[in-house]
Amino acid sequence: MTRSAPTRPISADAAQAPRRIPSVERLLGGAAAEDLAAYGRTALTEAIRVVLAGIRADATAVPDEAAIRAAATERLAAERLSSLRPVFNLTGTVLHTNLGRALLPRSAAEAVAAVMVQASNLEFDLATGARGERDDHVEALVCRLTGAEAAVVVNNNAAAVLLVLNALAMRKEVVVSRGELVEIGGSFRVPDVMARAGCRLREVGTTNRTHLRDFAEAIGPRTGLVMKVHPSNYAITGFTAAADPVALYALCRERGVPLAEDLGSGSLVDLAAYGLPPEPTVRAALARADVVTFSGDKLLGAVQCGIVAGRKDLIARVRKNPLKRALRVDKMTYAALEAVLRLYLHPERLAEELPTLRLLTRPRAAIDAQARALAPAVAERLSGWAAVSVTECISQIGSGALPVETLPSAALVLVPDPGGAGGRRGAGGRCKRLAERLRALPVPVIGRISGDAVILDLRTLEDEAGFLDSLSAMSPASGEAPNSDGC
């Protein structure tokens, strides 16, 4: 656990004769009624035992009974905090994989809650009363928004790729350009996924250059699939060449081999229309591929899932594959995905309604104005901890989309006070200590350390009141002295 609830020192009076360790029964007997009601006798007994064990192990002095009880309830209070909880992502990466990627609009969260507490028609056809198909709740919408003939939903895009490979090319060769054999996020490596899917990788071309003739020579009777992969988190520049996508698709059709494209992020709208750097849309990809795979919680802005969309006959094979059952998603996912897809039917309001797009399209001027307006209130709360100023900075989309493109933004710069916490540690140590303290707030604040400062990129800050509220736990008025950490 990374939280650091301030632990009250257990006071011991060393001048007196050594106190005897009280019994668990005695401590429980004197427990406050509200603690017993809040935590229950079982948990309180357990916590008292743990505290007593600690005292026995390190018995320089035995604290008084009240202090032992307080230590026990403090433990219980700390345990009560959920492990998974909201944070403020002020890292500057909008789709941050470690911080949960896309944020759902309220409407989607409400749709999820509705089907969670009541039965639903997840696999039930309300018109006929017969069994239904869970993908029906979103398939028509995906098709309408992408031009696909059919679509299936699985647990994430990695699962979508695995399923496509296994369903369309098990025990066959999959032809891929060497320039696209990428690793994404450390644990998704195209060659490894291919091996697990039971396919044989047939690499063509070189890291920087692959030509149409490389594909033409490789495609043969053993070929099950030709695959293209969005390079996501890196870009090759300089002396490069890739086969023309239209010509490659024509070649595949001529040879009767399906072409799959893993888009990674995959956008449902043309980001350029919103003033953002362009990213291939699913619709555009489907004009040059038979099936495409993309994530639900990257640019699409919904929840973790992977979507396979494309030609009806191929999607039917994907759906029939036994792995689909193992990779299928829960009703929560369909509820959230359907609600988000519906927002795309109203493109004029999308940049307002879809959090991912709303955050990505915030202009620097607005973020800068927000930073300037907030700086005094933040400075007040961090008084004694850090000096607060405003700077220009650069945000990123994240999750592999547009790795070389950036978004101009503004940030609060927190330069730790040399006299404050970690003062004797040097600038680097003070920054680390400040970042640590920010992560220990009631709603943790996650920024990034740059040079001698902690940077909070405000592109992703919408709940200003909640942010200031959380920071208040550090303010001098809260009684916490910044230089009391004893380092």
Ligand X SMILES: *Cc1c(COP(=O)(O)O)cnc(C)c1O
The binding site for ligand X (CB under 6 A) comprises 156-158, 161, 184, 188, 229-230, 232, 262, 264-265, 295, 306, 399-400
Q: Which DSSP category does 485 fall into? A: S
- Beta carbon of residue 186, minimum distance to ligand X (angstroms, whole number): 11
- Beta carbon of residue 185, minimum distance to ligand X (angstroms, whole number): 6
- Identify how many contiguous H helices and E strands the chain contains and give both numbers: 19, 15
| Element (DSSP H or E) covering residue 319 | helix 312-320
User: What sign for the dihedral angle of Cα 351, 354, 355, 360?
Assistant: negative
Q: 232 vs 460, which CB is nearer to ligand X?
A: 232
DSSP codes joined into one string, 78-98: HHHS-SS---EE-SSBSS-GG
- Beta carbon of residue 237, minimum distance to ligand X (angstroms, whole number): 18
- Beta carbon of residue 306, minimum distance to ligand X (angstroms, whole number): 5
Sequence-separated (6 or more) residues with CB below 8 Å from residue 353: 105, 107, 343, 346
d(CA 179, CA 153): 28
- Burial environment of residue 270 by CB neighbours within 10 A (0 to 12, 13 to 18, 19 or more): middle
Tokens 């390079």 correspond to 231
| Element (DSSP H or E) covering residue 332 | helix 331-343
Q: 148 vs 382, which CB is nearer to ligand X?
A: 148
Check: CB of residue 455 under 8 Å from CB of residue 447. yes
d(CA 427, CA 92): 22
Q: 183 vs 485, which CB is nearer to ligand X?
A: 183
- Beta carbon of residue 229, minimum distance to ligand X (angstroms, whole number): 5
- Beta carbon of residue 103, minimum distance to ligand X (angstroms, whole number): 16
- Beta carbon of residue 245, minimum distance to ligand X (angstroms, whole number): 16
Chain centroid to CA 330: 18
| Element (DSSP H or E) covering residue 400 | none
How far CA 97 is from CA of 13, 82, 100, 116, 196, in Å, comes to 50, 20, 5, 25, 24
- Beta carbon of residue 231, minimum distance to ligand X (angstroms, whole number): 7
d(CA 292, CA 290): 7
